[in-house]
């Protein structure tokens, strides 16, 4: 059995450089070509389907109830204020999606994985 | 069953248990997902690298797979499981390829594994949601994967150089 080397090799440097370059390129590409900027709305997904579309510039607080959406772990509150959106209240083991806070950049999803719930600012479909 | 096989299984089971506990403890004690969904240090991957170093690729795959399954017993076999298994699968494929290539050290393997873990997760989420904007998280997961991969490699290297498992495990080589 060949044990993996513990000291860095020049191929590690190549791999590091390649990954950094590729990540930088991806950063540019996604920000330039993969951000919606026309007719933005807030789309709400449940179980991988859009269940609601809300105006981005109408301040509102929306509650999605477990009674209506059984795969939610509990009720989820989505808040939209001044072109920004966040998950205000949710129940999940680690509360990742509420910890993410306000999102104002279009094309940046807020994913509540255990709740099968996602909110994203994107173009009107 | 020979003594050496029992010895090997015991050590692998112990490492698997440590991996599951670290995985769970990290999620609770060291949450980094506020940076972006899916971002984590991946401390449990140190166990994967230790297993790869001491035991080999078959054991690395087995322990990794079992770790995902056992973790899912705590968190459920829902959406999180799909994400975890896809991240593990892509990371493992890449590590297996690079391991046979034999050019990368523990640093390169760890980096590739961490980055591909994130990529696998994002691909799965993008497929499930059928939403192209999910991939906007890829650059963040690349950068954090590179950083976390290097940190994990340093930790794993320190463990394998300080913890003397080698002499007792060499007998299992075929």
Nearest residue, CB atoms, A4 vs list B76, B99, B132? B99
pLDDT recorded at residue A2: 62
pLDDT recorded at residue B82: 92
Q: Does B125 touch chain A (CB under 8 A)?
A: yes
The tens digit of pLDDT for each residue in A83-116 reads 999 999 999 887 888 888 999 999 999 999 889 9
ipTM of the complex: 0.85
Chain B hits for A114, Cβ within 8 Å: 75-76, 78-80
The tens digit of pLDDT for each residue in B17-37 reads 999 999 888 877 876 766 776
Q: Are B133 and A1 in contact (CB < 8 Å)? A: no
3 state DSSP class of B90: helix
Q: Does B134 touch chain A (CB under 8 A)?
A: yes
Q: Does B172 touch chain A (CB under 8 A)?
A: no
Q: Which of B23, B28, B33 to mutate to test the interface with A (most CBs of A within 10 A)?
A: B33
Contacts of A81 (CB under 8 A, 6+ apart): A59, A102
Q: Does B167 touch chain A (CB under 8 A)?
A: no
pLDDT interval class at B167 (50, 70, 90): very low
The tens digit of pLDDT for each residue in B54-94 reads 999 999 999 999 999 998 888 788 888 999 999 999 999 99
What is the rounded (10 degree) CA torsion for B98, B99, B103, B108? 70
The tens digit of pLDDT for each residue in B103-129 reads 999 999 999 999 999 999 999 999 999
Give me the residue label for tokens 């192209």.
Answer: B132
pLDDT recorded at residue B7: 84
User: Can you tell me the distance from the alpha carbon of B21 to that of B133, in angstroms, rounded to the nearest whole number?
Assistant: 33
The tens digit of pLDDT for each residue in A20-49 reads 999 999 999 999 999 998 889 999 999 999
Q: Are A36 and B173 in contact (CB < 8 Å)? A: no
Distance (Å) from the alpha carbon of A60 to chain B's nearest alpha carbon = 23
pLDDT recorded at residue B171: 55
Give me the residue label for tokens 């607080």.
Answer: A61
Mean pLDDT, chain A, integer = 92
Yes or no: say if B47 and B18 are a contact pair by the CB < 8 Å rule. Answer: yes
pLDDT recorded at residue A57: 93
Q: Are B103 and A9 in contact (CB < 8 Å)? A: yes
Q: Is the pLDDT of residue B168 over 60?
A: no
Q: Are A45 and B136 in contact (CB < 8 Å)? A: no
pLDDT recorded at residue B100: 92
Chain B hits for A112, Cβ within 8 Å: none
User: Can you tell me the distance from the alpha carbon of B169 to that of B159, in angstroms, rounded to the nearest whole number?
Assistant: 15
Q: Which of A4, A5, A22, A72 to mutate to test the interface with B (most CBs of B within 10 A)?
A: A4
Chain B hits for A120, Cβ within 8 Å: 131, 133
Nearest residue, CB atoms, A8 vs list B36, B105, B133? B105
Q: Does B163 touch chain A (CB under 8 A)?
A: no
The region of weakest confidence among A8-12, A93-97, A101-105, B40-44 is A93-97
Q: Which of A29, A113, A119 to mutate to test the interface with B (most CBs of B within 10 A)?
A: A113
pLDDT recorded at residue A49: 93
pLDDT recorded at residue B37: 67
Alpha-helical regions (H) of A34-71: none
pTM above 0.80, yes or no: yes
């Amino acid at each position: 059995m060949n044990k993996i080397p513990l000291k860095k090799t020049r191929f590690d440097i190549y791999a590091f450089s390649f990954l950094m370059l590729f990540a930088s390129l991806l950063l540019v590409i996604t920000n330039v070509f993969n951000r919606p900027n026309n007719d933005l709305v807030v789309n709400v997904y449940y179980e991988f389907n859009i269940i609601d579309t809300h105006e981005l510039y109408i301040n509102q607080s929306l509650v999605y109830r477990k009674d209506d959406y059984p795969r939610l772990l509990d009720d989820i509150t989505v808040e939209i204020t001044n072109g920004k959106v966040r998950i205000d209240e949710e129940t999940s083991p680690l509360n990742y999606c509420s910890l993410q806070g306000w999102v104002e950049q279009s094309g940046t999803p807020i994913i509540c994985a255990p709740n099968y719930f996602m909110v994203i600012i994107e173009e009107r479909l | 069953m020979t003594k050496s096989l029992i010895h090997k299984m015991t050590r692998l089971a112990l490492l698997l248990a440590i991996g599951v506990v670290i995985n769970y403890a990290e999620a609770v004690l060291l949450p980094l997902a506020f940076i972006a969904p899916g971002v984590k240090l991946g401390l449990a991957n140190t166990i994967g690298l230790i297993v790869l170093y001491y035991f080999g690729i078959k054991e690395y795959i087995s322990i990794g797979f079992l770790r995902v399954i056992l973790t899912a017993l705590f968190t459920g076999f829902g959406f999180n499981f799909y994400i975890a298994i896809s991240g593990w699968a892509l990371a493992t494929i890449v590590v297996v390829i690079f391991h046979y290539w034999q050019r990368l050290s523990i640093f390169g393997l760890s980096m590739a594994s961490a980055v591909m873990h994130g990529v696998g997760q994002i691909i799965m989420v993008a497929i499930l949601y059928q939403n192209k904007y999910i991939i906007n998280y890829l650059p963040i997961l690349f950068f954090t994967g590179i950083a976390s991969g290097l940190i994990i490699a340093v930790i794993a290297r320190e463990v394998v150089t300080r913890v003397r498992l080698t002499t007792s495990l060499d007998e299992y080589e075929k």
